[in-house]
Amino acid sequence: MTVTEDRPQMLAEEFERIAAAAEREGVRMEFIHGRLGVKAVPDGDHDEIIRWLMKICLQQRPDLWLYPERGLHVERYRKGNAKPDGALAPEGSFAGQGVWADPDQVVMLVEVTSYDSDTDKRDREEKPRAYAQTGIPVYLLIDRDSGETLVHTEPDGDSYAQLTRRPFGRTITLPDPVGITFDTSALKDWVR
């Protein structure tokens, strides 16, 4: 059987039960485009990148918080579930919500590539499409393999219309509604 969004591997409710059990065992799962995926556990450099970005966000946008590994409903019709490395949203955006939250207040999602075989398809293809379908204004990919930051903007309901790439060491601007500019030189310290 071919897995598609119309013919998923399982129902979203089934995924949520499996993911909850897997999380207790230290495995992070996602369900994007009808397909079950396992997300690599972050290494120490990955954690440092998120810490560094969290500090930048707090300094420049104290009205927003970078929530790490926040489970979100993504994709058209809310059939998918993802745990991005970071979700930038106003403080209190997820209060009272369960493991898989509504992303309506999220202004940016962040992913940092991991050194696993699924990174290419997951972070560079599947997630940009799912996040654009959800209407997330900005998707920031910190790509440790290519040594660059990729800023996806202008979601049109199916994909992002704009992509800006900058090698580590250059300044990058995250446009409104994020409105943050930073130098990416520090990222060179956290790649293999």
State the CATH architecture for 43-190.
Alpha-Beta Complex (3.90)
146-186 pLDDT per residue, tens = 999 999 999 998 899 999 999 999 999 999 999 999 999 99
Record the tokens describing residue 113, joined without a space. 């590539």
Contact 118, 127 (CB under 8 A): no
- Measured between alpha carbons, how far is 137 from 176 in angstroms, rounded to an integer? 8
pTM for the model: 0.80
Domain ranges of the chain: 43-190
Residue 105: CB atoms within 10 A of its CB come to: 14
- Measured between alpha carbons, how far is 100 from 17 in angstroms, rounded to an integer? 11
24-72 pLDDT per residue, tens = 555 565 556 566 566 656 678 999 999 999 999 999 999 999 999 998 9
